[in-house]
Structure 1
Amino acid sequence: MKESHIFLFILFCISTSSFSQEFRLVGSVLDQDKNPIVFANVLLLKTTDSTIVNGTSTDDKGAFIFNSIGMGEYLLKASYIENVSKYKAVNISSDFDAGALIIKESQQLDEVVVTYEKPRLERKVDRLVFNVEKTALADGNIWELLQQTPTVNVVNGVITIKGNRNIGILINGRKINIPESDIINLLSGSSASNVEAIEVITNPPLKYSAEGGMLIDIKMKKNLVAGYNGAIFNNFIQGVFAKNTTGTDHFFKGKKTSFSVNYSFSNDKRISRYTDITNFSENATPASMWTSNQDLTTRRKRHNLSAFFDYDIDDKNALSLSTINVFNPKLNQFSFSETLINNMGGSLFSSFNTINDSDQKQTNTSFYADWVHKLKKQGAEISFGSHFTYYDSKKGQDLDTDFFDDNGNQTGENDFITQSNQKINLYNIETDYITPLGKSTRLKAGLRYAGINSESTISQEGFDRNQPGINPTEAGVFTYDESIYAAYTSFDGKWDLWSLKTGLRAEYTETKGELDTGNGPNEISYLEFFPSIAVQYIPSKKHQYQLSYFRRIERPRYNRINPFQQFISNNSVAEGNPDLLPGTRNWVSAEYTLNRDYSIALFYLKWNNPYRQQTFQDNTNNLLRFISMNIESNSGYGIDLTINKDISKAWGFYLFLSAYNNEERFRDLDTGRILSNELWSGFIRLNNGFTFLKDRSLVTDLNFAYYAPRVRGNARTDSYNYLDFRLRKTFWNKNASASFGVQDIFNQGNRFTSRNYLNQNNSTLHRQENRLVTIGFRYKFGNTRIRGNKKSKRVEERRRI
């Protein structure tokens, strides 16, 4: 333990890292008589496409300041009421005084419309940026938005990127530390109208934990200029049942403070249908066929609340506070399943029906605090951050089973109840240090400690233990503690034609899991290193080359470690595994882009010891067991093709085609043999965005996806596809918008999965509410108008930029 601490301290002391140099840009805004204009809005824009880089407002002396501006060429523009200055070009290579921007009151803008739009896709050295403001998806929720994000795929509620499943979710750079199932709850209750861009980070910065593979950073909108605005929204979805989300957003920015709060309430009901067919065998010979049809109805009431507060204490210090919360006061899942037991000739032996009724309450609340202090050396800073997450889940379950003979006469019953609780506390503290090494590079290093405390309890009673295979834990308490000590060093640089990000992260982990009815604690400790490098070469505007490599770790999810059995029906049971081990993943890719529109990439993945939830049939006790376990390896290689093209001013086209070979090696539960599940697979994503009307107030998106057959662990899933359509219209001076859409128009999104090898012969057909009609509405209110100097008293307040 002490040696690990010494090692981390040494690594921190010698760590090196670099980024592009940052500078300060100052200036003033004056009227035509050289008088200062108070509360004028000042925008800093890129020269290439006029997209906004930052925004601010002038103080009581008409002065403005932009801090932490990267080296490059920019445009400055000031506005006040409906009068604007001329654009002023600035070339930033050091601290710069732009002088005065002059606003003339006599300017007439009634016949002039200045528009600028970010490109829908932007490629950076370590990420892909998807700008979503101008899409028809803006009136939906963020979960729907993710499903349409380039390179991102959602399969059965699991996010994947280029075959990687363990994806981290960030909001404005802050990691969301909640279980995978709650990610859907959080994002499906959050309006996409608040999102400025989705950043798909394919080579994550070493500042972040080595946990997982790639990251998705959801960039929320912020007020760039002083003022207040808010919005109310409603999103209605009709499938088999209705689902509705209502919410409100509020944004405020002052001279030193900015604050936003977002709240939504969701009330929905949905149904999923499953058909499981299992051919159980005796002495390696098929003996009976069990066909189970299950209807699972979920009713949920959910509150989402998030708030972000930023305060510039002075020129050297800034404080950020934020909180992200998901509350589920009522979550009911009711399932009815009917299982028919036939001989292999098709004659009915017997049957049983199971009712599984569960009620659950969940609380998930997270708090973040960050402080940044700028050092005397230009561009150097030190920062401190902390985070705490509290998760509490209480679930009561009533499972009743009735047995019948071949004539339909009841022969017995098995009724029992289960009460399970889980509490998780996650917390971390970290510090980061940045110092420039030159005009285009800087050094970065950091230390981090993360702690996890989890306690799970279960009580189960009422079992008829004469039923075959019934042997769950009657009562138990399982505690799991984890400590992670980390240090990193990285070097980033940007030159005329090259960009580079590289570094090394080390993590020392200690875990302790203990079941009160077990034989003692299970303790593990290990030290792992995680190198990373990303190189981008742009010899001209026409050609772009990228090379990327990283190594990451995947630690088991806390709900997968719990050792308890929980029955889904009388012959299907889910089991945790306290002996799960972490898996490590290596990823390398090479990419070429032509004219920013066409891209081709080759990639290779090697994943050792990943964990999966595997389905095994127990032929002795006629059970289906859903077990969390490590498999031997997952490896794959393939090619990605991307076309992102504006066919015209009104039509944007995006195509993503991936073809890859994937091999998953797993150990058979009965024989211990290592088997291989290999398949050439792939998928196609085709998105079309259309803009109509002279004021570009009507936009539509038409999205198609096809997924070829694929493998995962011991299972294979057949192909499926879907076609989505969405339309959005803005009106009332773009203060309101309404949208209409249909998801999976032809209802082709059902999944069929099979497991056929050795003595395993079973399949699952999952039919969920795929075809959904969505209706959204959003109305913005408030303004960014603030009374300034005395001249503003002579005119009526008007909407500002």
Structure 2
Amino acid sequence: MNYRELFLVFLCAISTSFMVQAQEFSISGHVKSNEGEPVWLANVLLLSPKDTVLINGSSSDEKGGFKITHIPPGKYFLKASYLENESDYMIVDIDSTKDVGTITISNYAQMLDEVVVTTQKPRIERKVDRLVFNIGNTALSDSDVWEALKRAPGVVVINNQLSVNGNKDIGIMINGRKVNLPKSDVINLLSGTSASNVESIEVITNPPSKYSAEDGMLINIKMKKNLIAGYNGAIFNRYTQGVFPKHTIGTDHYFKGNKSGFSINYSFNKEKWYTQYTDITNYIEDGEITSTWNAHEDYIQHRNRHNFNAFFDYDFDDRNSLTLSTLNQWSPKVDRVFDTETKITYADGSDPSSFITTNDSGEDQINASFYLDFVHKLKKKGAELSLNTHYTYYDYERGQDLSTYFYDNNQNLTDQDDFFTNATQDINLFSAQIDFITPVGTFSNFESGLRFAGIHSGNEIDQSGFDRDQPGINATESASFDYDESIFAGYASIDNKWDKWKFKAGLRGEYTKTRANLDVLNSFNNDNYFKLFPSVSFQYTPNNTHDFHYHYYRRITRPRYNSLNPFQVFQSYNSVIEGNPDLLPSSRHYMAGGYTYKRAYTFELFYKNRVNNYQLLVFQDNDNQVLRFISSNVDRDIAYGFNVTVNKNFTNNWSFYFMASTSYMESNFTDLSSGQKVNEGLWNTYIRSNSGFSFLSDKSLKADISILYSSPVILGNSRQEDYFNMGIALRKTIWDKKASISLGLDDVFNEANLFNTRKYLDQNNTSYYRPESRLLVLGFRYRFGNTKIRSNKKSKRVDERNRI
């Protein structure tokens, strides 16, 4: 309770002592959290129903109990709050001393009649198997989801590579439904979706067994539910200026009836990006450098993109509900131009030479996903049966025209080469899952389910114009590659909560069948395997000061479909990107245990061991002087270390998150050319910091400052040097909070560049990546329609309906 509320309580107590009637009453009850736990030191306020002026108040004890005395007869509003969480308003009619039962702290903001009630949850909450990052009503609300995700706890994004605690196998979900898209397209989807629709981002460090074993960790983006009967909507506009401008416009629409809810989100992006690459390769023969190839590349991308998402909920009755949802992305025009100038110098003093390659390519891609979810609540309280189905269609086509001009040391044209490629990929994914959950006794829930997933990936390529006699060239002229995968899974898990303990454990089994066919060789590759995936989490909280947690899991990563394509596609004259149909699935173990003091300071130890991790590795072919970017398995990766986290609201206007992680990382891989085993390791430290500020008396001005630093790190067969990025975001609400304007600057010091080296055995090359990362972002959002609640309807079933 702040000083203003204390002062009001004091004044009210004095005034009511003079106006007390002959008969006064008291009310009592308990304050609990959404999880049913007692809330200690919660503020319980008695308010006037006419203007919500404070009449009286009290605080809850260690068991959540409270009592307010000396209350005159009449009708009142009763509300409980803890930190910045609040309960719904409760209408109480005081005509006798009474017990009002349980008041539950709710985690959302709403408007009651003409009275605006605003809340902001703690920015970060720790649960038994996840961290919850609440971004509603913060400076990040006017950004896109991808930018907000970069600020989530434990999340590190470098060069659009997403990782959590060093793990890059991250699954993305929206409202608990997996987004089945390639990683680059997931980024496109999230960067085209406004973060104003997001309630929170859950970083699930130990996913329950009901989820596929495919991803080691999950990020669940929880979209806001429209709690208000009627219609409301919004329009938004975001302009980004880097080297080139980027523009996004969009609109959101929500409708809620007695039994149904419907929402549509649409946005259009028009973007132009500029990136620079520098690759320096020292080709080696008999242990000596024979030539140095210095390639500088300017890359410009134009892209138009449409994002369309829709969600529909319908409650047949109190026990049956249906949800239909769709996520769609269409990029009808993606133009890519790579201009590369390569200068060659020879160690023997021969005259240098050079060549210039222009790679002009265009893309067209469609991603469409559809979900149907049905939930039936059984007669036993807390028991339910659910059915989830999903279908994704992905269509991709890319054509490129690669022209190379060769020059001598006097810049005289000596030769020319033209190369044409057209590649297509069609992916169809279908899955169906049935889940059953039931309470067991007083403190436990049992859950089990079955799942089937079927995937078909069809790939075709046509290439012409290349010189078949050029050393190192083995490009496929025309071929078709089909890949089919079927996964049969079942799981069982138990969730226990008793006294001061929370415990989750589960076991999942998955049987996988794969079949790959390359038509030009008439080759078939079949593989069948069955694996078990245990997981366990527990949390022990003896009191509000101390908290202990531990979790362990085993997971699998299956090769991505485009990584399996056995085609050699040229990026420039002497650099090729290659798939690998012989990629093996990767399995990994991860465990972590830690201690949290006063819900703010955490120390955690972790260990992970991964076998057959696959990455896009870079190898130099010294015989043919070609750089090969090839998907390959890394024999083993290990990492162990510790994390230190601070998550604290220093004041009502300043929330702070800090994480420092130090670990030893080691990569063990096989050199492509020699077949020798190579071990590379080092100690790495990365630091994440986020500060959220509120300004002005009504907290209508928000600010967010983020910092990310990483020391050198091992990635496959590469060493990536230091990385630093700092961002600032501001947001101001205007027009009675119906509109907001935002201003942001990402990579303030323009330091978000990547420098990679590969120096071992006969490999000696470096890559320097300089993206268009310092970006000025301007945003505007306006809400319209019904934005106020006209009744005090109970909303305790919101969480149950939040199943999309």
Q: TM-score range by the shorter chain?
A: 0.7 to 0.9
Q: CA deviation at 1:113?
A: 7.1
CA distance in 1, matches of 2:413, 2:79: 85
Query: Of the candidates 219, 235, 243, which is equivalent to residue 216 of structure 1?
Result: 219
Change (3 A) 1:595 1:111: farther
Query: Of the candidates 572, 575, 581, which is equivalent to residue 572 of structure 1?
Result: 575
Q: Look up the match of 1:474.
A: 477
Q: Counterpart amino acid of 1:87?
A: L
Deviations 1:469-517 (A, max 9, x none): 2220000000000000000000001111000110100000000011001
Q: Look up the match of 1:119.
A: 122
Query: Of the candidates 279, 299, 303, which is equivalent to residue 300 of structure 1?
Result: 303
Q: Look up the match of 2:551.
A: 548
Deviations 1:659-705 (A, max 9, x none): 00000100011111111110100211121211110000011111111
CA distance in 1, matches of 2:683, 2:269: 40
8 Å contact kept, 2:209–2:493: yes
CA distance in 2, matches of 1:74, 1:245: 50
Change (3 A) 1:99 1:286: closer
CA distance in 2, matches of 1:252, 1:625: 53
Q: Look up the match of 1:500.
A: 503
Tell me if 1:428 matches 2:419. Answer: no
Query: Of the candidates 352, 357, 381, which is equivalent to residue 354 of structure 1?
Result: 357
Q: CA deviation at 1:133?
A: 1.2
Change (3 A) 1:85 1:557: farther
| Secondary structure, aligned partner of 2:352 | strand
Tell me if 1:381 matches 2:388. Answer: no
Most deviating of 458-467 and 293-302: 458-467
CA distance in 2, matches of 1:558, 1:610: 15
Deviations 1:527-576 (A, max 9, x none): 00000000000000011100100000000011100000100000000000
Query: Of the candidates 173, 178, 184, which is equivalent to residue 175 of structure 1?
Result: 178
Q: Counterpart amino acid of 2:572?
A: S
Q: Look up the match of 1:283.
A: 286
8 Å contact kept, 1:232–1:780: yes
Q: Look up the match of 1:539.
A: 542
Query: Of the candidates 728, 731, 741, which is equivalent to residue 731 of structure 2?
Result: 728
| Secondary structure, aligned partner of 2:576 | strand
Change (3 A) 1:131 1:341: same
Most deviating of 338-347 and 699-708: 338-347
Q: CA deviation at 1:379?
A: 1.4
The aligned runs of 1:45-56 (5 Å cut-off) are: 48=39
Tell me if 1:331 matches 2:322. Answer: no
CA distance in 2, matches of 1:769, 1:756: 28
Q: Look up the match of 1:452.
A: 455
8 Å contact kept, 1:227–1:785: no
Q: Look up the match of 2:192.
A: 189
Change (3 A) 1:84 1:635: farther
Q: Look up the match of 1:441.
A: 444
| Secondary structure, aligned partner of 1:407 | coil
8 Å contact kept, 2:133–2:202: yes
The aligned runs of 1:35-434 (5 Å cut-off) are: 48=39, 86-87=77-78, 114-344=117-347, 348-434=351-437
Q: CA deviation at 1:468?
A: 2.3
Q: CA deviation at 1:788?
A: 8.1
Q: CA deviation at 1:134?
A: 3.0
CA distance in 2, matches of 1:774, 1:347: 50
Tell me if 1:627 matches 2:630. Answer: yes
Q: CA deviation at 1:88?
A: 6.7
| Secondary structure, aligned partner of 2:304 | strand
CA distance in 2, matches of 1:84, 1:324: 47
Change (3 A) 1:536 1:298: same
8 Å contact kept, 1:44–1:74: no
Change (3 A) 1:101 1:307: farther
8 Å contact kept, 2:398–2:422: yes
Change (3 A) 1:84 1:451: farther
Change (3 A) 1:102 1:472: farther
CA distance in 2, matches of 1:369, 1:690: 40
8 Å contact kept, 2:365–2:395: yes
8 Å contact kept, 1:322–1:367: yes
| Secondary structure, aligned partner of 2:523 | coil
Change (3 A) 1:279 1:598: same
CA distance in 2, matches of 1:352, 1:405: 9
8 Å contact kept, 1:227–1:786: no
| Secondary structure, aligned partner of 2:185 | helix
Q: Look up the match of 1:642.
A: 645
Change (3 A) 1:364 1:103: farther
Q: Look up the match of 2:13.
A: none
Q: Look up the match of 1:700.
A: 703
Change (3 A) 1:131 1:402: same
8 Å contact kept, 1:546–1:591: yes
Please report the TM-score for the alignment, with normalisation by the length of structure 2: 0.85
Q: Counterpart amino acid of 2:745?
A: V
| Secondary structure, aligned partner of 1:137 | helix
8 Å contact kept, 1:86–1:102: no
CA distance in 2, matches of 1:587, 1:272: 35
Higher RCO (C-alpha under 8 Å, 6+ residues apart): 1
CA distance in 2, matches of 1:605, 1:232: 45
Q: CA deviation at 1:466?
A: 3.0
Percent identity (aligned) = 52
Change (3 A) 1:88 1:235: closer
Q: CA deviation at 1:124?
A: 0.3
Q: CA deviation at 1:99?
A: 10
CA distance in 2, matches of 1:720, 1:89: 45
| Secondary structure, aligned partner of 2:486 | strand
8 Å contact kept, 2:681–2:714: yes
Deviations 1:280-314 (A, max 9, x none): 11223210000000001000000001011110011
Q: Counterpart amino acid of 1:610?
A: N
CA distance in 2, matches of 1:99, 1:750: 54
Change (3 A) 1:728 1:414: same
Q: Look up the match of 2:532.
A: 529
8 Å contact kept, 2:113–2:788: no
RMSD: 2.4
Tell me if 1:712 matches 2:697. Answer: no
Tell me if 1:745 matches 2:748. Answer: yes
CA distance in 1, matches of 2:412, 2:364: 38
The aligned runs of 1:540-619 (5 Å cut-off) are: 540-619=543-622
Q: CA deviation at 1:349?
A: 2.2
Equivalenced residue count is 709
Q: Counterpart amino acid of 2:537?
A: A
8 Å contact kept, 1:233–1:776: yes
